[in-house]
Amino acid sequence: MSEVSNIPLQQSLNDLNQADQNFFKSCWGERKGKPVKPPKFKKRKSRQTARFRRDGFKIHQHKVYAAKIGKIKIIWSGELPAQPTSATVIKDSANRYFISFVVEIQPEKLPKTQSVGIDLGRKTIATFSNGK
């Protein structure tokens, strides 16, 4: 237990709790949509994941420090628009690590545009909703 960080263990218990709640609410008819199947246990054959909250990782220039994993060399695919709220570390079967960040951003307000409807007919080719 001392070799593993407590943060991914807590996150996996939270995920299991949410999966159980979804399953039982689906069985009792309290959940809309298709019936949910019972949760399955993860297999540790090829891909392993660990999700860290904000206090479980630190971002540096070319490395990310994850608790109990250590420093992971990183090649950025893009710049982060804001400070990440969580990070998921993925280890594949070739012992490569990938990190996915969750970032909260404010949605941009789009400018209001005027819409015009078009009615296609036999006598007139097109009539717009504004009368033209």
CA distance 65 to 83: 15
Condensed to tens digits (0 to 9), the pLDDT of residues 63-111 reads: 999 888 888 888 888 888 999 999 998 888 888 888 899 999 988 888 8
CA–CA separation, 63 vs 99, rounded Å? 11
pTM (whole model) above 0.75: no
Q: In the chain, what is the straight-line distance between the N-terminal and C-terminal CA atoms, in Å?
A: 75
Report residue 101 as tokens: 């960040």
CA distance linking residue 77 with residue 94, whole number of Å: 20
Domain assignments of the chain as residue spans, ordered by start = 6-106
Whole-number Å distance between alpha carbons of 83 and 132: 51
* Residue pair 92/76 in contact by the 8 Å Cβ criterion: no
